[in-house]
Amino acid sequence: MQIVPAFDIMDGRLVRLHQGDFGQKTEYPADPLELARQMEGTGIQRLHLIDLDGAREGKPIHLPLLEKIAGHTRLTIDYGGGLRSMAALRQVWDAGASLFSVGSVAVKAPDEFRAWVERFGADKFIVGADVRNKQVAVHGWVEQTGLDVFEFIRRVKALGVARFSVTDIEKDGALNGPAIDLYREIHQMFPDIDLTASGGISNVADVEALREVGCSAVLIGKAFFEGIVPMRFFSIYTKA
């Protein structure tokens, strides 16, 4: 299982939001490029880079930072935020992203998402499902779609997409443990997908618990920035 650091970027700085609320943010003083290089030194292979300003404005904003990190590390960067058009995908690809992290468009505009997959290839996408009570939420987790997460995964998987990132909204940023039962259920239903867990990591034991239920990767953001999961722990999980 991989540890995947999550860098949320707002105004050029590293931040963490509580349950996606832009009004509840914590800023961290680390330089994103230098921190990414340090993490690469521990064996980390993938970085989850979220452009929060891009998500609000509907277009990628932090392309220069993406270019810097891609140009000075060998990290596989999955980039999300503001990816609402084919042109935006091309921009972040040209800036150095290896994977696209998308969510709402796969739910709300499935025909457009299908066109993206046909253009770039299913292996270039990580599809995010933000879940509350096993139903997918979109647009900053405000809008409940009524779409069952298992049906959503089934639909997207039919396009050939194998990478999924699932966040339990109630767990995100709360440091009260991940949604183990949800991930177990997803893995049992879709044992062949590449499942990334996100939200709620409160200690190193949570990471091992996620591995045991079948997750192939775990996003770690707040737990690292708050010193709960130290960087030296990352070297234990370095396999792709």
> 180: which 2 tokens?
């183990």
> Longest Cα pair distance anywhere in the chain, in angstroms?
43
H-type helices in the chain, by residue range?
A: 32-41, 52-57, 63-72, 86-94, 104-108, 110-120, 149-157, 180-189, 204-212, 222-225
Q: Which residues have CB under 8 Å from 49's CB, separation 6+? A: 7, 9, 62, 65, 66, 69, 77, 78, 79, 80, 97
Residue of 11, 21, 123, 130 marked active site: 130
> 48: which 2 tokens?
């989850």
Whether 206 is a known active-site residue: answer: no
Whether 192 is a known active-site residue: answer: no
145 φ, ψ (degrees, to nearest 5): -90, -20
Cα–Cα distance measured from residue 164 to residue 190, given in angstroms and rounded to the nearest whole number: 11
**Residue among 100, 151, 142 nearest 121 (CA):** 100
- Residue positions annotated with a catalytic role: 8, 130
